Structure 1
Amino acid sequence: MARKTKDPGFGFNSHENVRGIINKDGSSNVIHVNKKFNVDDLYTYFVEMSWSRFFLYVFIGYTFLNILFGFVYTLIGIEQITPSTGNFFGDFLNGFFFSAQTLTTVGYGGIAPKGITANLIAAFQAMLGLLSFSFITGLLYGRFAKPKAAIRFSDNLILRDFKEHRALMFRLMNNRKTIMIEPEIKVTLSINEKNKEGRYQRAFHELKLERDKIMYLPTVWTVVHEVGEESPLHKYSNEEIEKLDAKVYILLKYHEESFGQSVYQATSYDFSKLEINMKYSPSSHFNEDGFTVLDHGKLSEVELIN
């Protein structure tokens, strides 16, 4: 008899075709409303965002500050830093480039403030530049130093005959050249079905795995859940499993040599990625010198069972 597990924090209430809580890349799929803004969250926000967005924000912030101070220098009189060109746009460009030199503390020496007002503004801007670049430097260090797992999971799940029963399987590998030390994995199955009252409800089951922990992993790990009598999938046929509104949530923990500490990575599968009566193709082989060759392109490759 399959045993249900406690709610892992997702909630039992559901509806038809409910979206998963965790995305394939491990990010949360929860929409937050009425959440109060906290300044302390800014660091996490900038560290967690993508590199492209991070550098876009840096560029936008840098450009905005220089445009702002360029207008300020133009409005107080560009003559306080350099002779006027006779038109507003030319004076603004001189103010913009002087602002860039002041903000970055480059100071080429070709343009310099002469009036007391321009000197006060330039002094304030120089302080603002030092604070801004210190903040950006801290964020860059935080982004590089943050421990991150680099695990690739197969794009698909497979359901195939295994020993005396069937088995649900997926594969994973380390996307770095380091060896995964003491990887440990937990797999939770969520099945969304109608109850006796006709309302949708989710049932959670912690799947028993053939192995949930190994010593180290240099190549590929095929994670296996045997669909025996104690499995929550045992009562379903292959065709019924294929049509289930079900999702698999995975949490992997291991010691990462690059950071010298344990890291975590989460992912999920829905049963639309399920392939039946297939097996994974070998992803590694030996070369002529006896070295093991791992082909990252074959992680999700499957073939028919003969």
Structure 2
Amino acid sequence: MKKTRRKIPKTRIVNRDGGSSVVRIGVSNNRWRDPYHLLLTLCWYKTLGLVSLSYVLANTLFALAYLAGGDGIENARPGNFFDAFFFSVQTMASIGYGAMYPKTTYTNILVTIESLLGLIGLAMASGLMFARFSLPQARVLFSDVAIITPYNSMPTLMLRVANERQNWILEAQVRMSLVRTEISKEGDVMRRFYDMSLLRSHSPLFALTWTIMHPIDESSPLYGVSAEEMVEDEMEVIVTFTGLDETVCQTIHARHSYIAKEIVWNMRFVDILSKTRDGRRSIDYSRFHDVMPIEN
């Protein structure tokens, strides 16, 4: 009797770059509940835009507060918003040109409050910018596709990684895992992770390129798996990279994932290593992602 495979519902958990794509129910998805983490993860132009908007908004509110107190700024035009706004800018930044200064008790109280908030805001903005600049960022390049090809007569899953910076990454380590959707005998659907052994998972000095290889032997979670089964079971190969950046002496991390359609069979990577006329090694990064059919 022919064995039929149980249909597995589409419940992909991890997207292409390894990030979460799960819809969370019953918990708040408001990122502003963790503003520090949000500000660290926003792109630079959004962060600068948010800081600039907060600065303008704060000075606008204080300008309106100054205007509400009447003619309390010396040498400012009574009721003029722009004079009050620029006086607020000078106060918050502790510039103190001396052309405009407070002349009433109400205005002096506002100046005192704004000066204190300005010091706090400056410290927070400086700390945020320093944290973003000092945050170690890995510039590790992963190949767009992974390949399954024979290596020493053994089917092997391969992918490329490269260091895009012109420095050394010390004690580089790579881990590879297979995640797939499975159904238990009780009918429970779950995503299972399987460790994948590598021919070499550690490099004491990583500066150029590295071909990561997983032999598909009897102990491999990919043993006997076809391309169709990889698609049906929503298999995904997740790769994590860690190492010590010698320039900043900090640990860096990188990750990437390959879904079934990004794993090509019976292909090999194009050779990108060569030598120049003076005998130096040369790497052609323009062909880093290229693959070609296996020659029979």
What's the TM-score once normalised by structure 1's chain length? 0.83
Q: Structure 2: give runs of 5+ residues left out of the alignment.
A: 1-7
Q: Does 1:105 align with 2:108?
A: no
Amino acid at match of 2:62: F
Alignment-derived partner of residue 124 in structure 2: 135
- More displaced stretch, 134-143 vs 281-290: 281-290
Q: Does 1:84 align with 2:77?
A: yes
Q: Does 1:18 align with 2:7?
A: no
Q: 1:47 aligns with which of 35, 40, 45?
A: 40
- More displaced stretch, 148-157 vs 242-251: 242-251
Shift of 1:59: 0.9
Shift of 1:46: 2.3
Could you say if the C-alpha distance between residues 30 and 38 of structure 1 is closer, same or farther in structure 2, counting changes exceeding 3 Å? closer
- More displaced stretch, 174-183 vs 291-300: 291-300
Are the equivalent residues in 1 in contact too, given 2:267–2:293 (CA < 8 A)? yes
Task: Give the 3-state SS of the residue equivalent to 1:269 in structure 2.
Answer: strand
User: In the aligned structure 1, how far is the partner of 2:112 from the partner of 2:201?
Assistant: 60
Amino acid at match of 2:89: A
Task: Give the 3-state SS of the residue equivalent to 2:52 in structure 1.
Answer: helix
Shift of 1:123: 2.2
User: In the aligned structure 2, how far is the partner of 1:16 from the partner of 1:43?
Assistant: 37
User: In the aligned structure 2, how far is the partner of 1:289 from the partner of 1:78?
Assistant: 78
Task: Give the 3-state SS of the residue equivalent to 1:177 in structure 2.
Answer: coil
Shift of 1:97: 1.4
Could you say if the C-alpha distance between residues 186 and 103 of structure 1 is closer, same or farther in structure 2, counting changes exceeding 3 Å? same
Could you say if the C-alpha distance between residues 299 and 45 of structure 1 is closer, same or farther in structure 2, counting changes exceeding 3 Å? same
Alignment-derived partner of residue 10 in structure 1: none
Shift of 1:66: 0.9
| Alpha-carbon displacement from aligned partner over 1:39-71 (angstroms, at most 9, x marks no partner) | 995433322332222112101110110110111
Q: Does 1:247 align with 2:240?
A: no
Alignment-derived partner of residue 140 in structure 2: 151
Could you say if the C-alpha distance between residues 76 and 153 of structure 1 is closer, same or farther in structure 2, counting changes exceeding 3 Å? same
Count of aligned positions: 287
- More displaced stretch, 174-183 vs 107-116: 107-116
| Alpha-carbon displacement from aligned partner over 1:122-180 (angstroms, at most 9, x marks no partner) | 12212211111111111111112223322121121112222223111111111211112
Within a 5 Å distance, the mapping from 1:114-133 to structure 2 comes to 114-133=103-122
User: In the aligned structure 2, how far is the partner of 1:31 from the partner of 1:278?
Assistant: 36
Alignment-derived partner of residue 5 in structure 1: none
User: In the aligned structure 1, how far is the partner of 2:29 from the partner of 2:239?
Assistant: 30
Q: Does 1:219 align with 2:208?
A: yes
Shift of 1:27: 4.0
Alignment-derived partner of residue 261 in structure 2: 272
Could you say if the C-alpha distance between residues 78 and 174 of structure 1 is closer, same or farther in structure 2, counting changes exceeding 3 Å? farther
Q: 2:62 aligns with which of 54, 59, 69?
A: 69
Alignment-derived partner of residue 4 in structure 2: none
User: In the aligned structure 2, how far is the partner of 1:183 from the partner of 1:123?
Assistant: 53
Task: Give the 3-state SS of the residue equivalent to 1:141 in structure 2.
Answer: helix
What's the TM-score once normalised by structure 2's chain length? 0.86
Are the equivalent residues in 1 in contact too, given 2:171–2:243 (CA < 8 A)? yes
Amino acid at match of 2:215: E
Could you say if the C-alpha distance between residues 303 and 130 of structure 1 is closer, same or farther in structure 2, counting changes exceeding 3 Å? same
Q: 2:222 aligns with which of 233, 236, 242?
A: 233
Q: 1:207 aligns with which of 196, 199, 203?
A: 196
Shift of 1:19: 2.7
Are the equivalent residues in 2 in contact too, given 1:22–1:267 (CA < 8 A)? no
Q: Structure 1: give runs of 5+ residues left out of the alignment.
A: 1-14
User: In the aligned structure 1, how far is the partner of 2:189 from the partner of 2:19?
Assistant: 25
Task: Give the 3-state SS of the residue equivalent to 1:168 in structure 2.
Answer: strand
User: In the aligned structure 1, how far is the partner of 2:177 from the partner of 2:287?
Assistant: 26
Task: Give the 3-state SS of the residue equivalent to 1:124 in structure 2.
Answer: helix
User: In the aligned structure 1, how far is the partner of 2:71 from the partner of 2:14?
Assistant: 56
Are the equivalent residues in 2 in contact too, given 1:20–1:247 (CA < 8 A)? no
Within a 5 Å distance, the mapping from 1:172-211 to structure 2 comes to 172-196=161-185, 199-211=188-200
Q: Sequence identity, in percent?
A: 27
Q: Does 1:296 align with 2:289?
A: no
User: In the aligned structure 2, how far is the partner of 1:282 from the partner of 1:180?
Assistant: 23
| Alpha-carbon displacement from aligned partner over 1:217-238 (angstroms, at most 9, x marks no partner) | 2211111111122222222234
